[in-house]
Copies of this chain bind each other. A is one copy, B any other.
Amino acid sequence: MKPPKQRSACALSSSLDILGDKWTLLILRDILFIGKSSYGEFAQSEEKMATNVLADRLALLECQGIVTKTVAADKKSKFTYRLTEKGLDLAPLMGELILWGHQHCANVDDTALMLELRQDQAGTIRKYQELARAAAR
């Protein structure tokens, strides 16, 4: 898997080269906030992403060093995807996406996470980063 090409030396543009699509950040959301870790779990999420796109994005995330892929502890035929530190550093970004969506998009469900984020954004982000780190051990 080859990395997507960089369109410019702009930091924002470079981030979008990797994250700028409708699916990638949903996978990371599933890992960070929902605690998912396998292909099958990602495939079942509410937004129903096509499996070829899922496989493509997982490969891309792995080659970018945002997630790691290891054989699952319980089954040899299963893989476990975890966030690296580079991936965990996307937590604040995801927090902002959640808050903006909640404030400005119609028909968005209220969740416990939302309430938590609004009351203590930085603390909530740290908490989920720590949970993900703990799961990786």
A residues adjacent to B (C-beta < 8 A): 6-23, 25-26, 29, 46-48, 86, 89-90, 92-94, 96-105, 107-109, 111, 114
B-chain residues with CB within 8 Å of residue A7 when the two chains form the complex = 22, 46-48
Nearest opposing residue in chain B for A25, CB measure: B16
Asked if residues B90 and A15 are in contact (CB atoms below 8 Å), the reply is no
Q: What is the bound-complex CA distance between A48 and B7, given in angstroms? A: 9
Q: How many copies does the complex hold?
A: 2
Minimum-distance CB pairs A-B, first 10: A11-B101, A15-B101, A20-B22, A14-B105, A93-B96, A9-B109, A8-B46, A11-B102, A7-B47, A14-B101
Q: What is the bound-complex CA distance between A17 and B21, given in angstroms? A: 9
Contact of A108 among B14, B21, B22, B104 (CB under 8 A): B14
21 A-B residue pairs with CB within 8 Å: A7-B48, A8-B47, A9-B108, A10-B109, A11-B98, A11-B102, A11-B105, A11-B109, A13-B26, A13-B29, A13-B101, A14-B105, A15-B98, A16-B22, A16-B26, A17-B105, A18-B105, A21-B21, A89-B103, A89-B104, A93-B93
Q: What is the bound-complex CA distance between A68 and B7, given in angstroms? A: 27
Q: What is the bound-complex CA distance between A109 and B7, given in angstroms? A: 13
Nearest chain B CB to A131 CB, angstrom units: 17
Q: What is the bound-complex CA distance between A18 and B102, given in angstroms? A: 13
